[in-house]
Amino acid sequence: MESAAAAISRLHELTASPPISRLSAEFEAAGFELSLVGGPVRDAFLGRPVKDLDFTTDATPDEILRIVKPIADAHWDIGRQFGTIGARILGETVEITTYRSDAYDGLTRKPEVQFGTDLEGDLTRRDFSVNAMALRLPQRVLVDPAGGIEDLLAQSLRTPSQPEVSFGDDPLRMMRAARFAAQLGFDIDDATFEAMRAMAERIDMVSAERVSDELTKLMLTEEPGKGIRLLVDSGLAAHVLPEVPALRLEIDEHAHHKDVYEHSLTVLAQAIDLEAARGHEPDLVLRLAALLHDVGKPKTRRIDASGAVSFHHHDVVGSKLTAKRLHALRFDKETISAVSRLVELHLRFFGYSEGAWTDSAVRRYVRDAGDLLERLHILTRADVTTRNKRKAARLRTAYDDLERRIEELSEAEELASIRPELDGQQIMQLLELKPGPQVGEAYRFLLDLRLDEGELGREEVERRLVEWWRHR
């Protein structure tokens, strides 16, 4: 954490910029209060980059619009029903929200927006004390009614009011606690955590869209594993992502096997390290797949007479469970499809180290992965958590070899765009078929032929197709 003097200096420099100076002067001239609030103030004290400029005011949304319209390059009111007006002023994007407090009536799944009248009241109804600080403008006076500075120093997350009241106002704040713990590296104070455990079931009243949005933010933090642990330990995960706590399989003296829950969190952490090492931005699809890749194990767990444990087909079962859960959380179709496909494919590599694959097997691996290939590379490498250094080195070397072969074959054959040597029109003409399922069947035969044997030439492909069709 930066010194108070350094943080105040950063805030002064930020608020002295032409866009904010202009904005604060206009609000003062109109007789309204304006304060920089929440994240920007917190991050200034933490020495983190200040990204989003959020302001709060006693002006209503209509009054905000009236003030910003003459000075804005553009403005929008998509959040107007929640009291928020967005604008771009001298190239700087800002959001300005009327003092408010959100509360559930216990009957609906969306909070009722209530506008407030003073800054201190607005701040004490916010989620956590470290987010409940504001800088009054243009005076540049720090307002911290809930002791946010002390909690920043202690690296602690605490609600400004009693946690039972705060979480009662908006149960999603319990998930937000896990997200901020992961994002900031802070711990949740005991009273706040106990309230999360006692009130976990109230998360059910929050809409799936809001839950998935918060889960997405958590998964894209630097250390999502810490937040996932808090969701599991508090009981929240049992309501929003029950497949994860289910990974904590009972381990007895007769059936020793890897702790699947701890393994999954390790895979997630290793995938994030590889993601960065290979030059990628935080990837929600990859991270969800890493966390959920083994969710099929509880349903497929079997113990034989010797005490050995098996999880046959947990990849296929896990893929279905993953798709079902992400659909329930209202994730988009593309994300659901990509994550569930990665879960289905995550075991394909194992066995490669036991014996070299044929070129056709490598081609199929690439074809099945499609545009998920790079993510599958990372997930498969991250899935190696063995403490046996010799085994880990063997698997790493084997995957290095597989990636090398994929690259060589790709250069020679453009694997990503492999197609049969005859298209649908040519197939219909040769076999005298009309459009229908039979054409697709013939196309798949030719694609398998292409993957197994490479390019054969038009004449040979036509001969093989006619022969296959005659004997099918």
Do residues 272 and 392 share a domain?
A: yes
Name residue 84's beta-bridge partners.
97
Under the phi-then-psi rule, with left for phi > 0, alpha for psi from -120 to 50, and beta for the rest, what region is 288?
A: alpha
DSSP code of 127?
A: S
Between 127 and 449, whose confidence is greater?
127
> Can you give the pLDDT at residue 353?
62
> Can you give the pLDDT at residue 101?
65
Q: Label residue 115 by pLDDT band (50, 70, 90).
A: confident
- Total domains in the chain come to 4
Full DSSP string of 226-295:
HHHHHHHHHT-HHHH-TTTGGG-----TTS----HHHHHHHHHHHHHHHHHHTTPPP-HHHHHHHHHTTT
Name residue 75's beta-bridge partners.
87
Do residues 32 and 135 share a domain?
A: yes
Distant-in-sequence, close-in-space partners of 431: CB < 8 Å, separation ≥ 6: 438, 442, 465, 466, 469
- Strands (E) in 21-151, as ranges, are 34-37, 53-57, 74-76, 84-89, 92-98, 100-103, 112-115, 134-137, 141-143
Q: Say if CB 133 and CB 148 are below 8 A apart.
A: yes
Lowest mean pLDDT among 27-36, 146-155, 339-348, 461-470: 461-470
Put simply, whether the predicted model's pTM sits higher than 0.85 gets the answer no
Name residue 303's beta-bridge partners.
309
Q: Label residue 453 by pLDDT band (50, 70, 90).
A: confident
Give the mean pLDDT of 188-194: 97
List, for residues 250-299, the tens digit of each pLDDT value: 554 444 556 899 999 999 999 999 999 999 999 999 999 999 999 999 98
> What percent of the chain stands above pLDDT 90?
61
Do residues 315 and 464 share a domain?
A: no
Token code pair at residue 220: 């894209």
> Can you give the pLDDT at residue 296?
95
> Can you give the pLDDT at residue 415?
57
Q: Label residue 196 by pLDDT band (50, 70, 90).
A: very high
Going by their DSSP bridges, the two strands 156-157 and 74-76 should be labelled as: unpaired
Q: How much is the CA Rg of the chain, to the nearest whole Å?
A: 28
Under the phi-then-psi rule, with left for phi > 0, alpha for psi from -120 to 50, and beta for the rest, what region is 370?
A: left
The 3-class SS string of 96-110 reads EEECEEEECCCCCCC
pLDDT over threshold 60, residue 199: yes
Do residues 235 and 269 share a domain?
A: no
Of the residues 154, 178, 210, which one is the last residue of a structural domain? 154
Domain, as residue range, for 315: 247-417
> Can you give the pLDDT at residue 255?
46
> Can you give the pLDDT at residue 252?
46
Do residues 136 and 58 share a domain?
A: yes
> Can you give the pLDDT at residue 172?
96
Do residues 405 and 429 share a domain?
A: no
Lowest mean pLDDT among 53-57, 300-304, 417-421: 417-421
Q: In CATH, what number is assigned to the domain containing residue 94?
A: 3.30.460.10
Token code pair at residue 377: 């590379």
Residue showing tokens 């200034």: 44
Task: State the DSSP H helix or E strand holding residue 205, giving kind and residue range, or none if neither.
Answer: none
> Can you give the pLDDT at residue 367?
84
Give the mean pLDDT of 421-429: 88
Give the mean pLDDT of 65-88: 91
Q: Say if CB 199 and CB 171 are below 8 A apart.
A: yes
Q: In CATH, what number is assigned to the domain containing residue 190?
A: 1.10.110.30
Give the mean pLDDT of 354-359: 74
Closest-CA residue to 140 (of 38, 41, 51, 52)? 41
Do residues 185 and 147 share a domain?
A: no
Residue showing tokens 């649908």: 424
Give the range with max mean pLDDT: 36-45, 208-217, 399-408, 422-431.
Answer: 208-217
- Asked whether the CA dihedral 351, 353, 359, 362 is positive or negative, the reply is positive
List, for residues 131-182, the tens digit of each pLDDT value: 999 999 999 999 999 999 999 999 999 999 999 999 998 999 999 999 999 9
90 three-state secondary structure? coil
Give the range with max mean pLDDT: 8-17, 181-190, 422-431.
Answer: 181-190
Do residues 271 and 343 share a domain?
A: yes
- Residue 318, burial from CB neighbour count under 10 angstroms (0-12, 13-18, 19+): buried
Closest-CA residue to 179 (of 210, 221, 209)? 221
Q: In CATH, what number is assigned to the domain containing residue 384?
A: 1.10.3210
Do residues 411 and 264 share a domain?
A: yes
pLDDT over threshold 80, residue 1: no
Q: Say if CB 239 and CB 328 are below 8 A apart.
A: no
List, for residues 201-228, the tens digit of each pLDDT value: 999 999 999 999 999 999 999 999 999 9
Distant-in-sequence, close-in-space partners of 302: CB < 8 Å, separation ≥ 6: 309, 310, 311, 312
How far apart, in Å, are the Cα atoms of 155 and each of 9, 173, 195, 233?
21, 18, 19, 20
pLDDT over threshold 70, residue 14: yes
How far apart, in Å, are the Cα atoms of 315 and each of 277, 322, 363, 367, 384?
26, 10, 21, 18, 16
CB atoms near residue 466 (< 10 Å): 12
Task: State the DSSP H helix or E strand holding residue 207, giving kind and residue range, or none if neither.
Answer: none
Of the residues 154, 177, 192, which one is the last residue of a structural domain? 154
Give the range with max mean pLDDT: 160-169, 410-419, 421-430, 452-461.
Answer: 160-169
List, for residues 290-318, the tens digit of each pLDDT value: 999 999 999 888 887 777 777 888 999 99
> Can you give the pLDDT at residue 49?
85
Do residues 210 and 302 share a domain?
A: no
> Can you give the pLDDT at residue 81?
81
Closest-CA residue to 191 (of 180, 203, 177)? 177
> Residue 317 and residue 171: Cα distance in Å, rounded?
32
Do residues 98 and 67 share a domain?
A: yes
CB atoms near residue 115 (< 10 Å): 15
Do residues 124 and 219 share a domain?
A: no
Of the residues 154, 189, 208, which one is the last residue of a structural domain? 154
145 three-state secondary structure? coil
